[in-house]
Amino acid sequence: MTDTQTTPVAEIVTFTLANGITPAAFVEISRQSEAFVRAQPGFMFRRLSCGADGRWSDHVVWRDHAAAMAAAEAFPKQPFAAALMQAIEPGSIDMRHEDILWQMAA
């Protein structure tokens, strides 16, 4: 890889919701982070999903590792972060950053 190439990075956060938080309420709480995420340098894509087992995934694609790390560091300091974290079951969060090696679009 040359200096002009970057490897996109997937930030994948999996978790369960706190007791009493409905999926609809969580989606609304998550939307409060939209302007912040969109404004971050290197933001490319974001998807929020929930599996049949009740585990959620927040999947964000960043231009490179540095952009992902900068956003991850700034995220908890935002005004919406406290409400978002309160809506997630403590101890259920698993956050990974993975290089995207191949992708396919429709």
Query: Going residue by residue through the chain (106 aa), what tens digit of pLDDT does each one get?
Result: 444 568 999 999 999 999 999 999 999 999 999 999 999 999 999 999 999 999 999 999 999 999 999 999 999 999 999 999 999 999 999 999 999 999 998 9
Global confidence as pTM = 0.90
Burial class (CB in 10 A: 0-12, 13-18, 19+), 39: exposed
* Antiparallel, parallel or unpaired: β 94-99 and 9-15: antiparallel
Whether 99 contacts 9, CB under 8 Å: yes
Closest CA to 57 of 106, 102, 96, 29: 96
Terminal Cα distance for the chain, rounded = 27
